[in-house]
Amino acid sequence: MRSTGKLHLGNYVGALQNWVRMQDEYECFYFIADWHALTTDYADTSKVKQNSIDVLLDWLAAGLDPKRCTMFIQSHVPQHAELHLLFSMITPLGWLERVPTYKEQRENIAEKDLSTYGFLGYPVLQAADILIYKGDFVPVGEDQVAHVELTREIARRFNGFYPATGRGLKQSFTWTGDVFPEPQALLTPTPKLPGTDGRKMSKSYGNTIMLTDPEPVVRQKLKTMVTDPARVRRTDPGNPDVCPVGDLHKIFSSKETMAKVNQGCRAAGIGCIECKGWAADALVQVLLPMQERRKKYEDNPRLAWDILEAGSAAASQVADATMKDVRASMGMSLEYEPPRPPETAK
């Protein structure tokens, strides 16, 4: 996750909630991508570090547990950069120019100069981020599938050039002759989570409900939330399936509340204010325990930093082992090797 600062409900529903579940099913590495943040925000780096810490606090608040997963900041494990450099040597330019988000983002973020090497190479850095842990799966949304596919192509190309069994290697590898596995995208169905204006929840639209919003703020934001436009008057029937508040209910409310919403909205038996109040109740129930967990780390930020340091050390160990395999397969190990005897002519 990029170091964007405090997270909102969209980040929670779209990724974080799933990550919390996955900690018990997989050996998970979660990192805050501060170098990725630089690909678009390179001109002002003054907030990057604090933004990273804010992301970490929200992760801990949401239930990521350092005993069940590894959490760290990307730049604290510089092996990512070394692998990125090596991958950049073998990745054809055309592959990067074809990545759909490259064109799309350059057009959408017109206020920044994105004609940089770092921005174009963003997916190569992502490939290094994934492959340095020899990841089997990457939990992503639809929009990131193309990046995982590119990662697979880079892994394939690397394995083709530098087979693990080549060049008199002594090590044996878990993957038959390949340094890298080809990771799979683990597509997670993410429910539609609209912002207060009905568009996708996003900081750039100013329509977010933050995980740190106190109860009165949540209630106030809900009050201003758009509803089914068919309900102009209290007596007009509505449809929760086309109402952003209805979408919130579907994610956060109990079956009983959902039944009341469905029935009351369609029969004009309830008002939108009442309905929004129930949605706010459900949201507050989810957010309050998170905010209590967050407070422990806000009061003692050193605790959170210690988690990061331990996570970086654990991630570094795995990354070091991979880099040894990588260098060896390329015939560039850091170890002394005695000169080879000259080849004798037959």
CB 201 to ligand SF4: min, Å: 17
Distance CA 258, CA 195 (A): 19
CB 254 to ligand SF4: min, Å: 15
Nearer of residues 216 and 269 to ligand SF4, judged by Cβ: 269
Distance CA 327, CA 177 (A): 15
Length of the chain, in residues? 346
Nearer of residues 4 and 227 to ligand SF4, judged by Cβ: 227
180: Cβ–Cβ under 8 A, 6 or more apart, which residues?
A: 131, 134, 155, 158, 159
CB 208 to ligand SF4: min, Å: 19
Q: Which residues bind ligand SF4 (CB under 6 A)?
A: 227-228, 231, 238, 240, 243, 245-246, 261, 265, 270, 272, 275-276
Long-range contacts of 161-170 (CB under 8 A, 24+ apart): 161/90, 162/326, 162/329, 162/330, 163/329, 164/325, 164/328, 164/329, 166/329, 167/328, 167/329, 167/331, 169/328, 169/329
Token pair of 110 as six digits: 């017109």
Are 77 and 125 within 8 A, CB to CB?
Answer: no
Nearer of residues 246 and 311 to ligand SF4, judged by Cβ: 246
Nearer of residues 37 and 272 to ligand SF4, judged by Cβ: 272
Task: List beta partners, residue 33.
Answer: 2
The string of DSSP codes covering 44-87 is --TTHHHHHHHHHHHHHHHT--TTTSEEEEGGGSTHHHHHHHHH
Are 280 and 219 within 8 A, CB to CB?
Answer: yes
Nearer of residues 261 and 326 to ligand SF4, judged by Cβ: 261
Task: List beta partners, residue 73.
Answer: 32
Nearer of residues 2 and 231 to ligand SF4, judged by Cβ: 231
Nearer of residues 279 and 290 to ligand SF4, judged by Cβ: 279
Are 39 and 218 within 8 A, CB to CB?
Answer: no
CB 221 to ligand SF4: min, Å: 14
Task: List beta partners, residue 138.
Answer: 185
CB 46 to ligand SF4: min, Å: 41
CB 237 to ligand SF4: min, Å: 9
CB 220 to ligand SF4: min, Å: 15
Distance CA 32, CA 37 (A): 9
Nearer of residues 38 and 265 to ligand SF4, judged by Cβ: 265
CB 230 to ligand SF4: min, Å: 8
